[in-house]
Amino acid sequence: MDLLHELESMVITQQDNIEPKYDDIKRWQSLFGYTYSDASQRIQDHRSNSARVQVSDLHWEIVHAEKEDQGYDKESYEYSCSLPRAQRPHGAEKSTKTKKKKPSIYLLKLEGPFSTSENVKIAHSASSMLRSRFTGTDDNGAPASFCKVDGATSKMILDHLSDVESTFQPTFIGYSRAEKALSTTSMHPTLGSEATLPHHRLSFESDLESDQRLLPTQDQYPVWYFFYGTLSDPSVLKNLIGIGEPVYSAAKVRGGRLGTWGGKYKALVDAPAYETGCIEGHAFLITNKDQEDALQCYETDSYEVVRCMIELEGQKDEKIRGLTFRFIGDTDP
């Protein structure tokens, strides 16, 4: 009889834990737009689902401040993670909407009143974005010189020409390439890792020259790259960097999630901490800066170069520190 009584008590306790409180129901109504009865039922279904998404204590510790500001507690946040992206409340997407946007960069053809980059700097107090002269060819194949300007400088030039009623038409060419800015004092940027979190910071006592998390370095060649999209196509890569038949190694990386943008382009972004899956693709050894420059221009400024750990398949436990291209915009729903 004592055992039976104990089992009955356990059932009653479990039912009490599943039954939602008023504050929980109102929270779910506010977050997900459910009616009172729908919210109550969904909470009960969520609590009784043993296969539900569960967020680790470490993950919740990292995100709780932001999520609590949006109205979540841990339980409602776990539930939101199980929803398809298109059904998640706007608050859950807040962090993805603040991704950085690259400033517009152009090549200005040096001609007419702007025949040198110094003319542009002196005459219009141009920003420090101006670079020294670049040489190339114009649309007719004739030799030409250019300098880099940012969006603010290009607007300043056009405004000036309008003010003086000039008929001169400057030539601006969009300049778009994936940024590569690998820190020498932290692991930033690294796929799936936020360098500012305590467990990712380098200690003051660490030897920066020997810390493997700082590899690859900015100008390290040769360097391994992980490809997951069109760069895995041999015909694309060999035409892009001017080599013979490329030799790939089957590989995978962790810490990322593969989506799309623009309805068709593959986009590798950071995965949430609770996702432990891998992205499969190919590794390729880039031997010099010219090859890397071609890759950066091909990927455009919609991406950035980040560090990653590449796991080579078919070679037991072989991991190499390399680079890949991470998308910096908003992926498709």
Q: Band of the pLDDT at 234, cuts 50, 70, 90? A: very high
pLDDT at 174: 79
Residue-wise pLDDT for 125-147, tens only, equals: 655 555 557 777 777 778 888 88
CB under 8 Å to 110, separation ≥6 — which residues?
116, 117, 119, 133, 144, 145, 146, 147
pLDDT at 216: 96
pLDDT at 6: 52
Residue-wise pLDDT for 180-193, tens only, equals: 999 988 899 999 98
pLDDT at 58: 65
Report which secondary-structure segment, H or E, holds 137. Answer: strand 134-137
Q: Is the pLDDT of residue 296 over 80?
A: yes
Specify the amino acid at residue 67: K
Percent of the chain with pLDDT strictly greater than 90: 32
Q: Is the pLDDT of residue 264 over 60?
A: yes
Secondary structure class of 217 (helix, strand, coil): coil
Report which secondary-structure segment, H or E, holds 107. Answer: strand 105-109
pLDDT at 102: 60
Residue-wise pLDDT for 300-332, tens only, equals: 989 999 999 999 987 666 899 999 999 998 888
- Is there a contact between 253 and 239 (Cβ–Cβ < 8 Å)? no
Q: Is the pLDDT of residue 16 over 70?
A: no
User: CA-to-CA distance for 249 and 309, rounded, in angstroms?
Assistant: 14
Q: Band of the pLDDT at 122, cuts 50, 70, 90? A: low
Percent of the chain with pLDDT strictly greater than 70: 81
Using omega within 30 degrees of 0 as the cis cutoff, is the peptide bond preceding 143 cis? no
User: CA-to-CA distance for 154 and 158, rounded, in angstroms?
Assistant: 6
Residue-wise pLDDT for 82-108, tens only, equals: 887 656 665 544 444 444 556 678 888
Greatest alpha-carbon pair distance for the chain in Å reads 101
| pTM reported for the whole predicted model | 0.61
Higher pLDDT, 214 or 161: 214
User: CA-to-CA distance for 200 and 193, rounded, in angstroms?
Assistant: 8
Q: Is the pLDDT of residue 294 over 50?
A: yes
Query: Which CATH number is 179-193+214-327 given?
Result: 3.10.490.10
Q: Band of the pLDDT at 9, cuts 50, 70, 90? A: very low
